[in-house]
Amino acid sequence: MAGLFRQSYAECVRTAGRSLERQIDLDLKRKELENKLLARQIELLEKSQEYRCYPLGSEKPPETTP
């Protein structure tokens, strides 16, 4: 009977280990995708600032002299 409990416990530990490993892998992939998303958002923000008519933070365009 003790052998059965040991075998059952060992299987439980293996299953939990695989589950934890899968969870860690998925978490790493999620973080990688979040980093790619942030990089893309930064890239798009920089592009949008290139096309502004006036500097960021100004409420109106800078004065131009004719």
Let me know if residue 26 belongs to a domain: yes
Opening angle at CA 65, ends 61 and 66, nearest 5: 120
Band (pLDDT 50/70/90 cuts) for residue 28 is very high
Please write the tens of the pLDDT for every residue from 12-22.
778 888 888 99
33 within some domain: yes
Count of domains in the chain?
1
In a domain, 28, yes or no: yes
| Domain assignment of residue 24, yes or no | yes
Give the domain extent around 33. 6-45
What's this model's pTM, rounded to 2 decimal places? 0.56
